[in-house]
Amino acid sequence: RIAFVNGRYLPHRDASVHVEDRGYQFADGVYEVCEVARGHIMDLRRHLDRLDRSLRELQMSWPTERRALQLIVQEVVRRNRVHNGLVYLQVTRGVARRDHVFPPPDTKSSLVVTARRNNPTAAQTNSEKGISVITVRENRWERVDIKTVGLLPNVMARQAARLAGAAEAWFVDDDGHVKEGAATNAWIVTAEGTLVTRPAEFGILRGITRAVVMEVAKRQGLKVEERSFSVDEAKRAREAFITAATTVVMPVIAIDGTPVANGHPGSTALALREGFFDEAE
């Protein structure tokens, strides 16, 4: 495997960053994960748009020009011969003597790009089985709209899910409403067949897969409502599912041990999953 680190393509095992990198010391960095399907990097433009927003919100500079980054991402995918898999990119505020305030303005931001393969058949099989989720209290900061590498609450929540035999944890706000998963957006399907997902303005990451799935849903003639839903409503829903670049559309078959409907993946989720691969640019 090959990784791109600060201007160089290196064997993956030699790909490392400096001990004084601010990503390492302060989680002072942002990232993106894109899905690669049949050799195509899905929605790269939208991911770079979101990266731009994350960088701006944190007053961080681009590590290269946007066009150059796009070429690097494509080159890392090519060099690793990733036909189906993921590409990861991370930008941090660079290497500087440890000090909480921003480093001198001439400090170059760090850039890492890696890619890995996955097995599309296994992913498809998983989606036909569905996953369980647990719920946990929201304990993240308010700026979860920024895709930062500061993911400790997400790590703790995912681990709690794992220990409970589930694949994802949903963060729940003080009103009992579902926010999103540790690394996915959350959705339900009502008895009328309407898709419901939390508005992106209220304490979640604006998922790229979420946006694409909305377009797929409209094309399939489904109604989409952007509103909050409670854990109780989700448990009583006709279907539930999650979306992310890593999972695309993944049916949820149980919430905190309560089966969703008959405890099998719903047909809406599975149809959206198929539609996703046609819609994405």
- CB-CB contact of 94 with 109 (8 Å): yes
String of contacts with ligand PDD for each residue 15-34, x by CB under 6 A:
------------------x-
Per CB under 6 A, does 183 bind ligand PDD?
Answer: yes
Per CB under 6 A, does 273 bind ligand PDD?
Answer: no
Calpha distance 8→200 (Å, rounded): 36
Total residues belonging to the chain: 281
Applying CB under 6 A, which part among 17-25, 64-72, 215-223, 241-249 lies near ligand PDD?
Answer: 241-249
Of the pair 103, 210, the CB lying nearest ligand PDD is at: 210
Is 218 tagged catalytic?
no
Calpha distance 242→269 (Å, rounded): 9
| Interactions with ligand PDD, residue window 123-182 (CB under 6 A) | 180
Per CB under 6 A, does 54 bind ligand PDD?
Answer: no
For 123-130, the CB contacts below 8 A with 24+ separation are 123/247, 123/248, 126/250, 127/248, 127/249, 127/250, 127/251, 127/265, 127/270, 127/273, 128/265, 128/270, 129/253, 129/265, 130/250, 130/251, 130/252, 130/253, 130/264, 130/265
Q: How many residues bind ligand PDD (CB under 6 A)?
A: 14
Per CB under 6 A, does 188 bind ligand PDD?
Answer: no
Of the pair 98, 143, the CB lying nearest ligand PDD is at: 143
Q: Which residue in 22, 93, 198, 210 binds ligand PDD (CB under 6 A)?
A: 210
Shortest separation between residue 52's beta carbon and ligand PDD, angstroms: 14
Q: Which residue in 246, 261, 271, 277 binds ligand PDD (CB under 6 A)?
A: 246
Per CB under 6 A, does 197 bind ligand PDD?
Answer: no
Per CB under 6 A, does 205 bind ligand PDD?
Answer: yes
Catalytic residue among 108, 129, 147, 218: 147
Going by DSSP bridges, is the β-strand pair 168-172/131-137 parallel, antiparallel, or unpaired?
A: parallel
User: Cα dihedral sign for 172, 173, 177, 180?
Assistant: negative
Q: Write the DSSP assignment of 131-172 as a string of letters.
A: EEEEEEE--S-S-TTS-BS--HHHHHHHHHHHHTT-SEEEEE
Per CB under 6 A, does 207 bind ligand PDD?
Answer: yes
Residues that bind ligand PDD (CB under 6 A): 33, 180, 183-185, 205, 207-210, 243-246
Catalytic residues: 147
